[in-house]
Amino acid sequence: MKRCVIGLDLGTTCCKALVVDELGNMIAQGSQGYPLISHGAEIEQKAEDWVSAASTAIRMALQDVKDAEVVAISLSTQGGSTVATDEKGDFIGNAWTWMDTRCTLEAEAVERALTDEYIYKTTGWKIDPSLDAAKILRMKSMEEYRSAKKYITTLEVVNRWLTGKDVIDPTNCAIRQLWNIEKNDWDEKILSQIGLSREELPPVMPTGAFVGNLTEDCAKELGLPETVKVFNGAHDQYCASIGAGAVQEGDMLLSAGTTWVLMGISKSPLFTESYIAPGKHPVEGLYGAIASLVCSGASLQWFKNNFLPEEFDEMNRVVATRRDKTGELTFFPYMAGANYPLWQLNAKGAFTGIGLEHDRFDFARAIMEGVAFGIRRAVEDFQQNGTEVKSIVMMGGAARSPVWMDMIASITNTPIVALNQSDVCALGAAAIAACGCGIFRDYTEAAQKMVHADKTYAPKEDDVAYYDVKFRNYDRMWQKMRKYYEEMN
């Protein structure tokens, strides 16, 4: 009977389970969603839903597993979604997700006390009200959290359900803004500032470390033997890099979802004036560097929902014919402010160069180009800060748009590799489990067996020259807009 492993991805609104055999083939999958609970800046989830969804997704996947033995499980998880537990380990209230921004005043207080430079150079993350340095400070001031004994995140909640041990890994520690990435330890200065002790935080084990076997109750619930081993997982962007095969210096991953996220791989941490977020990669000796381009995918989805009833395939077909017609039409995708690398948070989305000849397909193309210009800015920022970018592996909905992939390749003058597997976070978790139990020697071998490119989009010489001129005009327009926003402050 062949061996197989389960990669479990607990994202922002859905849990996906992927079963992969010892040859690296995906043989089954399952999924289960869970809701967000939103009240303005307060964006929460029930931690119980993470466990329930994980159970459902695994059992759904196992229905399609025949003549195979599950031997190991590992996790990919959203980072920075935090829930408090009491002395018995019961949850206190809901989890405050990584999108929750209620703690602006607390973030400002921590920044004043420690300085943004100290926080960024220590943790790899610019001070942010959605991260735990601010959130736990707020929780500790609230009456309902007086009985709190520990503050844990998604990875620990699900590890505890699987094994009875609420263990975290360094990649998830880092995004909590409590972790010293160079010392690979909780930062005493930050903990002291927010009144947090080590005893209130979970034990830390390396990504890929053996956490434990399934508990009797969990094994019974899933219909699996207690001999199944659980190996410590990682933050979803680091799992995505493993699942996409971005495991060597110079590799870059682009996750194209609602927000587009770039991760570059280097041999040293990348601290920049633009606040790229560095952290230790699960591959020994490497670092990841994360940059988020907010509202990139959301911009096109907003436009399509409101103004473009055609299916995406039809949109792509027509948009592909409109390059020369939209030479002066541009879009600035700052519908939630201009974040990385511009940091002009009061900026707004805008079209410029509109003529009577333009229709909804032209606007759609302008949005695609505007988002791709953001990727160019980011790639140039990585390069100017010493990161070699050989190629970009791309995943997400945009990777299914040939016209958008062609644009990005030519605008960045970088080959773009599209994968034939969309669930790369779960695939990365499966790779961790497979390496943990000895199916593969390391993540490089796992990538060779499990990751398969669908197509590579090379830069086109004519388009490279065309977009070089258009980008420079685009950037000049942005500099004028930026002055306007600065004067509005």
CA dist 355 and 143 (Å) reads 58
Q: What is the pLDDT of residue 129?
A: 94
Q: What is the pLDDT of residue 453?
A: 80
The beta strand positions in 86-241, using DSSP E, are 91-96, 150-153, 179-180, 185-186, 210-213, 229-235
Separation of first and last alpha carbons in the chain: 66
Average pLDDT of 265-282? 93
The amino acid occupying position 59 is R
Name which of 477, 441, 429 is nearest 78 in CA terms.
Answer: 429
pLDDT at 422 over 80: no
Average pLDDT of 448-468? 93
The pTM for the full model equals 0.90
Q: What is the pLDDT of residue 458?
A: 97
Q: What is the pLDDT of residue 336?
A: 87
Q: Which domains, and CATH codes, for the chain?
A: 2-237 (3.30.420.40), 246-489 (3.30.420.40)
45: confidence class by pLDDT, cuts 50, 70, 90: very high
pLDDT at 257 over 90: no
Average pLDDT of 352-373? 97
pLDDT at 169 over 90: yes
pLDDT at 161 over 80: yes
**Eight-class DSSP state of 460:** P
Average pLDDT of 463-471? 98
The amino acid occupying position 196 is L
pLDDT at 412 over 80: yes
Buried-exposed string 409-444: b where 16+ CB fall within 10 A, e elsewhere: bbbbbbebbbbebebbbbbbbbbbbbbbbebbeebe
pLDDT in tens, 230-252: 999 999 999 999 999 888 888 99
CA 340, chain centre distance (Å): 15
Q: Is 107 helix (H, G, I), strand (E, B) or coil?
A: helix
Q: Is 67 helix (H, G, I), strand (E, B) or coil?
A: coil
- The more confidently predicted of residues 194 and 420 is 194
- Do β-strands 330-332 and 277-280 pair in parallel, antiparallel, or remain unpaired? unpaired
Q: What is the pLDDT of residue 46?
A: 98
pLDDT in tens, 113-142: 999 999 999 999 999 999 999 999 999 999
Q: What is the pLDDT of residue 425?
A: 93
Mean pLDDT rounded to a whole number for the chain: 95
Per-residue CA distances from 470 to 226, 258, 323, 324, 463 (Å): 60, 25, 11, 11, 10
Please give the full DSSP string across 319-376, using - where no structure is assigned: HTT-TGGGSS-EEE--BTBB-TTT-BTT---EEES--TT--HHHHHHHHHHHHHHHHH
pLDDT over 90 for what percent of the chain? 87
Q: What is the pLDDT of residue 388?
A: 85
Average pLDDT of 436-442? 95
Q: What is the pLDDT of residue 187?
A: 97
Q: What is the pLDDT of residue 306?
A: 95
pLDDT over 70 for what percent of the chain? 100
Q: What is the pLDDT of residue 300?
A: 95
pLDDT at 454 over 90: no
pLDDT in tens, 333-354: 999 899 999 999 899 999 999 9
pLDDT in tens, 48-63: 999 999 999 999 999 9
How many CA atoms within 13 Å lie on the side-chain side of 321? 6
420: confidence class by pLDDT, cuts 50, 70, 90: confident
pLDDT in tens, 301-331: 999 999 999 999 999 999 999 999 999 999 9
488: confidence class by pLDDT, cuts 50, 70, 90: confident
Backbone angles phi, psi at 256, to 5 degrees: -105, 85
Q: What is the pLDDT of residue 270?
A: 92
